[in-house]
Amino acid sequence: MNVEYVNPFLSSLVNVLGTMANTKIVPGQPRLKKDEQARGEVSGLIGMIGPTTKGSFSVTFEESLALEIMSRMLGEKPDSINEEVTDMVGEITNMVTGGAKRILGEKGHEFSMATPVVVSGKGHTITHKTTGAKILMPFDSDFGKVFIEVSFDE
């Protein structure tokens, strides 16, 4: 797993949350994910297929941040994660992966995106079943944390 594959997802998430939700997030230190735990209450997942590899991307929000983004994007703030919030997380997953796809395409790494699946639940786990390393990238904000995970088959 090359950092060249991860940075486009990082910059795309910063861009999507900044432009769509006026929310500034600060990237932390990327690391290998060794356990299965998701780092929040709601996650968007998407599969990716390229000519030479395939993999998956996920973005996990702490509930407080997901609800704040909901409020900023749609002008309403639900009390907890509902279907409108999972719709929003699915859209963000699509937008972030689409942005990363454009950046990677310009570098000659083409891939196609499947449709997103959104998972929620306190204490849920997420495991990318790929042969490559699982990269976990944390971000902090004034309203809570968000994490992305990217992994491709080697």
- 46 near a copy of itself, judged by CB under 8 A: yes
Choices 6-14, 20-28, 45-53, 138-146; region in contact with a copy of itself by CB under 8 A: 45-53
- In order of 27, 86, 106, the CA distances from 153 in angstroms are 25, 27, 21
Question: Maximum Cα–Cα distance for the chain, whole Å?
Answer: 44
Please identify, using beta-carbon distances, which residue of 22 and 80 lies nearer to a copy of itself.
Answer: 80
Task: Tell me the two tokens of residue 86.
Answer: 């999972």
**Are the C-beta atoms of 118 and 90 separated by less than 8 Å?**
yes
- 60 near a copy of itself, judged by CB under 8 A: no
Amino acid in the structure at residue 152? F
Please identify, using beta-carbon distances, which residue of 50 and 140 lies nearer to a copy of itself.
Answer: 50
Q: Total residues at the site for a copy of itself (CB under 8 A)? A: 41
> Strand 135-141 to strand 144-152: parallel, antiparallel, or no bridges (unpaired)?
antiparallel
Distance CA 41, CA 66 (A): 9
- 80 near a copy of itself, judged by CB under 8 A: no
- 122 near a copy of itself, judged by CB under 8 A: yes
- 83 near a copy of itself, judged by CB under 8 A: yes
Task: Tell me the two tokens of residue 152.
Answer: 């491709």
Binding residues (CB under 8 A) for a copy of itself: these are: 36, 43-49, 54-56, 58, 83, 86-87, 90-91, 93-94, 112-130, 151-153
